[in-house]
Chain A
Amino acid sequence: NAGVTQTPKFRILKIGQSMTLQCAQDMNHNYMYWYRQDPGMGLKLIYYSVGAGITDKGEVPNGYNVSRSTTEDFPLRLELAAPSQTSVYFCASSYGTGVVGGKLFFGSGTQLSVL
């Protein structure tokens, strides 16, 4: 049981390049999330999904896109990388809402630098 798997672990991009951060979970969770973590700022929600085919914006969605074609996968796309997107990105999943919704399972993160 791998849990939540993120790839790559590290990446350096040039300004204007694009890339996709991959996230997969094998726990059959309906809910998946993308967060970014900046020093001293905690985690900010970028996008989330409540099931295959359904996605919605979080607090900081500008400059990102997501898709959810399967229950397992939730990739995050950066179209035109900017220095402000330098951050550590975490993917997470959970069973759902209410009493079980708060336990998020996190991947190990992707450290992205845009230069």
Chain B
Amino acid sequence: AQSVTQLDSQVPVFEEAPVELRCNYSSSVSVYLFWYVQYPNQGLQLLLKYLSGSTLVKGINGFEAEFNKSQTSFHLRKPSVHISDTAEYFCAVSPSNDYKLSFGAGTTVTVRA
């Protein structure tokens, strides 16, 4: 079985400042990793995913994440946030031969002017 731990439940940040959201996972098999974003009163949207290859993955809206196999982490970063990045962010994992995602508890990012 897989599990995901998001280390921060809430992250306040000022506009144009950088942000990092931390995600650790555990699994006995090889996995795919994902970050989803949920804007207020909406469903989740895929930000980016790691399947294989380069450990630095770029996604939409200027986000990127780095896969670190030795530390079993998949942290999400953005160098300069906007007010519109205020949302809840979910890290997720699935076995590479399966189709069911396990989600973390989420990190709420609040961007202030």
| Interface residues of A, Cβ cutoff 8 Å to B | 4, 31, 33, 35, 40-45, 48, 50, 58, 90, 92, 94, 96-99, 101-104, 106-109
Contacts and interface: CB of A to CB of B under 8 A. Distances in A.
B45 A50 contact: no
A103 B46 contact: yes
B97 A104 contact: no
B32 interface: yes
A4 B44 CA distance: 12
Interface of B: 4, 6, 9, 32, 34, 36, 41-46, 49, 51, 90, 92, 94, 96-106
Contacts of A58: 100
Contacts, number: 66
5 contacts: A45-B100, A102-B32, A104-B101, A109-B41, A109-B43
A102 B52 CA distance: 13
Given A40-B9, A103-B49, A104-B101, A98 B43 contact: no
A97 B105 contact: no
B98 A102 contact: no
A103 B106 CA distance: 18
Contacts of B92: 102
A31 B99 contact: yes
A40 B105 contact: yes
Contacts of B49: 102-103
Nearest to A44: B103
Contact of A104 (B44, B51, B104): B44
A47 to B, nearest CB: 11
Given A96-B99, A98-B96, A4 B43 contact: yes
Nearest to B91: A42
Given A98-B96, A98-B97, A99-B51, A42 B43 contact: no
